[in-house]
Amino acid sequence: MENYRPTKANVNLQAIQENLKNLQHYLPRQTAVIAVVKADGYGHGEVEVAQAAIEAGARMVSVATPDEALHLRDGGITADILVMGLSPVGFAAKAASLGIHLAVSDAGWLREAADYVKEADHPLNIHVKIDSGMGRIGLRDENALEDIIEVIEGSTNISLVGAFTHFACADEEDPSKTEEQFNRFMELVAEFPQRPPLIHASNSAATLLYPQYALDAVRFGIGLYGIAPSTYVGTKLPFELKKAFTLETELAYVKKVGKGERISYGGTYETTQDEWIGTLPIGYADGLNRGLRGQDVLIGGERMPIVGTICMDQCMVKLPHEFAAGERVTLIGRQGDEEITMEEWADRLGTIPYEVAVTIGKRVPRIY
C-alpha cells in the first residue's frame, strides 16, 4: 500500500533483536524467552515483531486475546503462541488445531473445553494461570488447582504445558511484594503431581531486576521494545535497552502571523509578537493526545513547542524562524543531540510509556 501522508512510525527491528539477544546473554542459559507481542506488538506491529523475535531466538510469543493469536497465524507465524488472557471455551478446538496455547484458571471452563477437543487431531496445550497477588485472573488456592488437575488427568486430549503468574509490583523499589508473590506461586507449583515443563513468572521488570526468578522462561514485553518498565527500573538496567520506535512527520504549511492572533480551536494560543507558525499533519486521531499541547517536537535538531489545541488530524508548532514546507519533524526520537522519548510524553500526560506506545493510531504507517 502506497503512503502519501508524511506522518509515519519507523520501527527498528534490529534494535528489538539486540534487546532480546542481550537479554539471553544476561539470563541463565536454560531460561527461554517468551516475546510479548500483544496490543499489536505494543504498537510496533505484532507480526513483524514476532518474526524478528523468533529469528533472534525467542522460544515462543504471547498475546492477550484469541484474535491476536489468529492474526499471527494468518501472518505466517508458526512458532508456539500463548494467549495470556481468558478465551471463550468455543475457541478451544480452533486453538488445538492451530497449536495455540491457552491460559486456564477454572476447572469448569477446562471441563467444557475438554469436550470440544476430545476428538481433535491435536491436543489442547494449556498453561495454568495462578493468581499469586495480582488480583486479576488466575486460581488462588490448592483446591482450585486440584480441580484443574483432576480434569487434566481425566481428559485424553489436554496437554499441560506450563504454569504462570504475573507480578504486580516488580517495577517498584521495594522487592518484598514480588518476593511474596514468587513464594506463593512456587508453593502452588509444588502441588502439581508432575511439574509442568514451562514455569514462568517474570515480566519485563522482574526479568531485568530479579534473575533469580527466571525459572524456565520469562515474558519480555515492554523491554523488548527498548522501553524501561518504570523510572526506577531504568536506573537499574543490567544492559542498555535500544529504543525501536520513532515517530516523524514534516512541516506541511508555514506562515507568519501578527501579534495578537489566535491559533486553533478555542483560540487557546495567542501570539505575543510576529511569529512563524508551522502546521503538522498529525493529530489526536494518530495518537497525539490533546494533553500534549505544549510538548516539544524536533526540527533541525532544535526543540519547538506545539501551540494551541491539537486537532484530530493536524497541530501547530511555534517556529523560531521560517522553515520550508517539507522540513522533517521528529515527535518521538532523536535529531542531533536532542531526543524526545515516549517517557517524556508519558510524564506530560500523567501516564506510563506503555499507554503512549499502544495509542499511536493504526493510520500511521509502520515502516520497518
Q: What is residue 120's predicted lDDT score, i.e. its pLDDT?
A: 83
pLDDT in tens, 308-357: 999 999 999 999 999 999 999 999 999 999 999 999 999 999 999 999 99
Q: How far apart are CA 228 and CA 238, in angstroms?
A: 11
Would you say residue 2 has pLDDT above 90?
Answer: no
- Radius of gyration over alpha carbons of the chain, in Å? 24
- In the chain the domains, ranked by start, together with CATH numbers, are 13-229 (3.20.20.10), 245-367 (2.40.37.10)
Q: How far apart are CA 330 and CA 282, in angstroms?
A: 11
Q: What is residue 119's predicted lDDT score, i.e. its pLDDT?
A: 83
Of the residues 236, 259, 265, 362, which is catalytic? Answer: 265
Of the residues 26, 38, 42, 368, which is catalytic? Answer: 38
Q: What is residue 3's predicted lDDT score, i.e. its pLDDT?
A: 81
Question: Please, which residues have CB within 8 angstroms of residue 237's CB and are 6 or more apart in sequence?
Answer: 208, 228
Q: How far apart are CA 208 and CA 342, in angstroms?
A: 20
Rounded mean pLDDT, 251-277: 97
265 is catalytic: yes
pLDDT in tens, 279-303: 999 999 999 999 999 999 999 999 9
Rounded mean pLDDT, 175-196: 97
Q: How far apart are CA 367 and CA 338, in angstroms?
A: 22
Phi, psi of 63 (to 5 degrees): -135, 180
Confidence of residue 174 (pLDDT cuts 50, 70, 90): very high
DSSP H/E element including 209: helix 204-209
Confidence of residue 118 (pLDDT cuts 50, 70, 90): confident
